[in-house]
Structure 1
Amino acid sequence: MKISAAKASILAIAVTLGAAALGVPAIGQNRDQDAPESLLPEGFGDPVEQTPTPTPQPVPGQPTPLLPPTTGAPLPAPDEEEEEEQSEEEAAAAAQALAEALRKAELPASSRRSTARVGVVGPDGQGIEADAYGRTRGAFLSALMRRIDAPIASRWLSIALRRALMSRTDTPSGVNGADFAAERAWLLLRMGEAKPAQAIVQAVDTDRYTPKLFQVAMQAALAKGDPAALCPLADPASEVSEEPSWLLAKAMCAGLTSDPGTAGQFIDQARRQRLATGIDLLLAEKVTGAGANGRRAVTIEWDDVDQLTAWRYGLATATNVAIPAALFETVGRHVQAWRAQAPMLDAAARVPVAAAAAVMGVLSNIAYVDLVAAAEQSEDVTPEESALASDLRDAYVGSAEDRMTALRALWNGVETPEARHARSILTARAAARIPASETYSADASALIAAMLSAGLDIQAMDWAEFVASDSDGWAMLAVADPDAEGQVGYGDFDNYADNDPRKGALLLAGLTGLGRFDFDDAGRASAALQAGLGAQNSWTREIMAAAERGEQGTVLVLAAVGMQTRDWRGVSPLALFHIVSALRRVGLEGEARMIAAEAIARG
């Protein structure tokens, strides 16, 4: 529907919704329970008119190519007389220059990647469009990304933001492409996304790296427990950085490439110059001994260590050295998500942190289920982890009543709201296998919350006729329905809000942002619940303007700014309203619906 000018003048809310009333394609899940999770609107990835690719910006301090892009041309023969007059130093320099020329000659200039567009996922692979940041200045976006206190409250917004940060997008104006890639990767790391962060830094050619990108690349390799990823970077990074970690990286890479002599020299140099001491040096030494000809046996003890750092986490994980549980209390939750993804760790060691990773959006329902199943086969599985796997298996087999009993046990077997939401994610597809009927109407809200945690909106809608009108299940379906027509009546909304005014305000924000609530009624309800949906501030103006310009990437970054809180108790109805409205206006209605439903499930 369209908003008339007369009605728009009635409420301050209506000003922010002028463009939100435009129709957006609905999306839904395939009814196949094993279909991949997807919240992409219909037509996502269809060709669109793109703005011209910006001219690549020069990277300060980087050498220009030594050879023209004619890689098949022979090198000129050296002059024999000049060769005889060269000193040893000149000869070494010439040899180095020749080696550099040959290295560059291996890759045609046409194959080198421009930093004008950086990323690993295109629109056809569930990425966002290349011009997703539009006219927004790079310095502004970089500052926003750097200041986001991640992880953020919403699992679904985190998933959407990860897609945006991984997408092949044009570098915004006024910022170096490699530096902007560094900001994207650094935010991904703080979100718990180690693998995507490393993918972004590796999407830039090494000879285009800036000091900032070298620094973040080191962090990404450590977060992933992958010191070998530092090997192509160690030499060029040492030319622009005096960080001792790069000397130790050279030592580790020499050891990993079966050159223990060189590795030992670097380690001894670091020890003599006291560039690293204690456990930091010992962990590097342990990595050097992991090569085929490693000679140094190193024992790691944590007795005097009171702080876990990225260096200690990354090298201990790479060498499968157990880290005391108490040290994880000294770091943010994102490190637990790194650990949940570490492939070199036994599944049994990863299951205890998988719940946190799932709630953050790092692990999907399928990945979480697979991890629990793998842990059951481990020799190190604990009784608790074995019981979890057994209960999960019971949720998939037997009669509907037996499966429902297992689901209730899984949901009620934890104490905190975050742990309960993790169990919802774990059981999403098992919940979708329960037949919609009056028999299980008392469990409908829990079943719907589980299904929507994995985006199974069509399956959840099967319960529409069995939910009470004042229940969370009804509220979640009101915002999650992919085929909604018309608007929710004030009486139905008021009936729900009377039970829980806080969730009522969040439902109001979701419905109004999705255009599913009359604007006159929205003003009346906002005043009654003191939701403040008509308020404005600098953040609301920025996200409204970005949505007006159709900038998906800018909207998602600003949405994350509005979700900087550990859990949903810190998310205001005003923030939720603008996030949902802005996402819908830039064509991300699926994400908007799931975030609105998540607010009810977790708010």
Structure 2
Amino acid sequence: MRISRTKVALGAIAACLFGAGMALGQDSPESLLPPGFNEPVAPAAAPNAPPRPRATPVPGAPGGLTLDPSTLGAPATAGAVPEPMPSPSPTPLDPAAAAALAAAQAAEAQRYNLPEYARRSLDMVGVAGPTDGALGSDAFRGADGIYLETLMRRLNAPIASRWLSIALRRALVSRLDTPARVNGADFAAERAWLLVRMGESVAARAVVQAVDPDNYTPKLYQVAMQTALATGDPGQLCPLIEDGPAAAQERGWAMARAICAALAGEAAAPMLKALDRQGVARGVDLLLTRKIAGMGARGRQAVTIEWDGVDQLTAWRYGLATASGTEIPDTLLDSAGPQVRSWRALSPMLDARQRIAPADYAAARGVLSNAALVDLYGALDGEDDQARADYAVGRDLRTAYTAGTRAERVTALTGLWDDAKTADARYARLILTARAAARLPTDSQDVDMDRLVAAMLSAGLDRTALRWQSRVKPGSDAWAMLALADPEASRRYRAGEVNDYAPAGDNAALKSKLFVAGMAGLGRMSANEASSALGAVDVPVGTENGWTRAIDRAARGNQPGLVILLAAVGMQTSDWRGVPPEVLYRVCNALRLVGLGGQARMIASEAIARL
């Protein structure tokens, strides 16, 4: 086997400067479209906008594809496609470009040949197996590959449920058999692209890198560019730089070539001057490229980045600014899509103080686990600047875990819960305090039982939460969440018991409907009792449409991966107030039938906790 020294140098330098460890694990059982080089990151939804199930064009999706569960498979309307964008099928190349790509790949094979035992087959692609908490390789058994890619492409992230987001991430990173009618590399690209849109930048990069470079397709080259930018890791592109430009045909690759040359110790100045002269890059884009190139062994200049006159944050600007340690103005970050917050929360290039701000959003969406969130606040505790509110949270969290008296720990927990102002922050505080809540003795007094139980269940601590069952008030939120989350629920509830649930607040009517739908979907009532209870709160679970037929068919076919994907399709709204109760019923029932009852129980209890 022959390995070129250039390849070795690129890999080593990229690993030193930009490498970041992968952290896929979450609590058990525990992610707009980033546009390309020339397009702004999609703006977030207007604050306080009333949530609703979305059937709107996916920003940046080819053809402006729409997705409504009731019209699954409806034809797309016409629309523009921003560049670069992974396309539904490999980007077609003209004969000259195809010949150039083939010649480049042949030359590459002469320089770098993997032995047969080290090659990875495209018949199965992914990074996690069942022992890692992922799905089995046959999770999509029998499903058509083009159908799966269409569902992934049309899915508009984020989705309402944190627990469903976690289940979807696990499905997408699993080592999966490549379905019929698609290329394994293209299928990996589609999975990674969805993970990027969910905010799961690290998981997306891992899926991209699960394919050997000599098996990359134009679509995977395109997605590799996006994952490199989302993780702030332009060094990821260096092993692909010889074939990527011919395959993907995007301007970003010309700039990446200059970056990789600089990281390999070569002179990049002539390339950068050519980029400027040819108009490939100008302004802040070229300056950021120069700054990254200056980090190489032959870098000779310091570059100052001025954001004056820049009114949009592109994926290229985000990725290179993060990699180079360049601070991005808050005005630009605020204008970006919500997935950028999760990218920042995961980024090892940012210090803990910069990651704290987006951490609440990332935790509420399933990107950060309880352990990751506690570690992040723990990194702040003990630093010099103790005046900031973030540091106060860290101190209160330490008190909640370690205070000598129960009263002090209860007071600290209550203060942390009360201090949160937004919906995401309130749920993130429950996640943050999950294990501190679990450490309280069950005879502790003056405890807010609803939030205590919700906190434990936010991290999947169902059996620990059930120790408090004798303390909860019948008909309360805590009682409802424990009824849904109980893993040993052999008892069947009567319709009267379920309908006695009496929540308070502005969302009381919806909570009642979601509770009944969850109990019915989890099989906690007989068929007759379920029909009576659902009828009493007017939840039309018998209504059928394209989505209901698809998820029921996937459940009957024992296709857990497809069930999770279709469940996410049904919940593609940013707020639980936009989830119809009949959708929750179908989701819980389908997950239970394919052996994912734990996820179903956590999703149903989450509905009560977050409303």
TM-score (norm 2): 0.82
Quick one: which amino acid aligns to residue 521 of structure 1?
E
* Alpha carbons 2:130, 2:136 under 8 Å: kept: yes
Deviation at 1:59, TM superposition (A): 12
Runs of 4+ in 1 over 4 A off after TM superposition: 57-61, 96-99, 377-382
Deviation at 1:58, TM superposition (A): 12
User: In structure 2, do the counterparts of structure 1 residues 320 and 101 end up closer, same or farther at CA, with 3 Å as the change threshold?
Assistant: closer
* Alpha carbons 1:231, 1:253 under 8 Å: kept: yes
2:180: which partner in 1? 173
2:134: which partner in 1? 127
Distance 2:254 2:422 in 1: 45
Deviation at 1:497, TM superposition (A): 4.4
User: In structure 2, do the counterparts of structure 1 residues 59 and 117 end up closer, same or farther at CA, with 3 Å as the change threshold?
Assistant: farther
Cα root mean square deviation, aligned: 2.3
Distance 1:389 1:439 in 2: 24
* Alpha carbons 2:161, 2:571 under 8 Å: kept: yes
Quick one: which amino acid aligns to residue 507 of structure 1?
F
Whose radius of gyration is greater, 1 or 2? 1
User: In structure 2, do the counterparts of structure 1 residues 380 and 558 end up closer, same or farther at CA, with 3 Å as the change threshold?
Assistant: farther
Deviation at 1:166, TM superposition (A): 0.2
Determine helix, strand or coil for the equivalent of 1:174: coil
Determine helix, strand or coil for the equivalent of 1:395: helix
1:554: which partner in 2? 562
Task: Say if 2:383 is the partner of 1:385.
Answer: no
Quick one: which amino acid aligns to residue 591 of structure 2?
L
* Alpha carbons 2:263, 2:293 under 8 Å: kept: yes
Task: Say if 2:597 is the partner of 1:565.
Answer: no
User: In percent, how many aligned pairs have the same letter?
Assistant: 53
Distance 1:117 1:198 in 2: 17
Distance 1:271 1:381 in 2: 46
Query: Residue deviations 1:48-95, cap 9 Å, x none?
Result: xxxxxxxxx99998xxxxxxxxxxxxxxxxxxxxxxxxxxxxxxx99x
After superposition, residues 38-53 of structure 1 pair within 5 angstroms as: 38-39=28-29
Task: Say if 2:341 is the partner of 1:336.
Answer: yes
* Alpha carbons 2:238, 2:260 under 8 Å: kept: yes
Aligned with residue 27 of structure 2, among 5, 28, 37: 37
Distance 2:299 2:514 in 1: 59
2:209: which partner in 1? 202
Residues 326-335 or 464-473, more deviating:
326-335
Task: Say if 2:134 is the partner of 1:144.
Answer: no
Distance 2:400 2:201 in 1: 31
Task: Say if 2:597 is the partner of 1:589.
Answer: yes
User: In structure 2, do the counterparts of structure 1 residues 189 and 378 end up closer, same or farther at CA, with 3 Å as the change threshold?
Assistant: farther
User: In structure 2, do the counterparts of structure 1 residues 382 and 255 end up closer, same or farther at CA, with 3 Å as the change threshold?
Assistant: farther
Aligned with residue 476 of structure 2, among 467, 471, 475: 471
Residues 353-362 or 510-519, more deviating:
510-519
Query: Residue deviations 1:122-147, cap 9 Å, x none?
Result: 11211101111111111111111111
Aligned with residue 156 of structure 1, among 155, 158, 163: 163
Gaps of 5+ in 2: 1-24, 31-88, 94-101
1:528: which partner in 2? 536
Determine helix, strand or coil for the equivalent of 2:159: coil
Aligned residues: 519
Distance 1:438 1:426 in 2: 20
* Alpha carbons 1:568, 1:602 under 8 Å: kept: yes
* Alpha carbons 2:192, 2:204 under 8 Å: kept: yes
Determine helix, strand or coil for the equivalent of 2:243: helix
* Alpha carbons 2:503, 2:511 under 8 Å: kept: no
Query: Residue deviations 1:525-564, cap 9 Å, x none?
Result: 2222121122111101000000100001111110100111
2:380: which partner in 1? 375
2:257: which partner in 1? 250
* Alpha carbons 1:351, 1:375 under 8 Å: kept: no
* Alpha carbons 1:498, 1:504 under 8 Å: kept: yes
Distance 1:202 1:136 in 2: 24
Task: Say if 2:518 is the partner of 1:510.
Answer: yes
Aligned with residue 305 of structure 2, among 292, 300, 303: 300
Quick one: which amino acid aligns to residue 445 of structure 2?
T
User: In structure 2, do the counterparts of structure 1 residues 280 and 99 end up closer, same or farther at CA, with 3 Å as the change threshold?
Assistant: same
Query: Residue deviations 1:80-123, cap 9 Å, x none?
Result: xxxxxxxxxxxxx99x8996444343x12343111111000011
Deviation at 1:303, TM superposition (A): 1.1
Determine helix, strand or coil for the equivalent of 1:357: helix
Distance 1:283 1:103 in 2: 31
Determine helix, strand or coil for the equivalent of 2:500: helix
2:453: which partner in 1? 448
Distance 1:530 1:404 in 2: 39
Task: Say if 2:547 is the partner of 1:539.
Answer: yes
Deviation at 1:437, TM superposition (A): 2.6
Distance 1:192 1:246 in 2: 23
Quick one: which amino acid aligns to residue 375 of structure 1?
L
Distance 1:157 1:124 in 2: 20
Distance 2:299 2:444 in 1: 66
* Alpha carbons 1:478, 1:488 under 8 Å: kept: no
* Alpha carbons 1:533, 1:577 under 8 Å: kept: yes
1:435: which partner in 2? 441
User: In structure 2, do the counterparts of structure 1 residues 97 and 503 end up closer, same or farther at CA, with 3 Å as the change threshold?
Assistant: closer
Task: Say if 2:274 is the partner of 1:269.
Answer: yes
2:430: which partner in 1? 424
TM-score (norm 1): 0.83
2:115: which partner in 1? 108
User: In structure 2, do the counterparts of structure 1 residues 454 and 312 end up closer, same or farther at CA, with 3 Å as the change threshold?
Assistant: same
Distance 2:186 2:491 in 1: 46
User: In structure 2, do the counterparts of structure 1 residues 378 and 142 end up closer, same or farther at CA, with 3 Å as the change threshold?
Assistant: farther
Quick one: which amino acid aligns to residue 480 of structure 2?
A
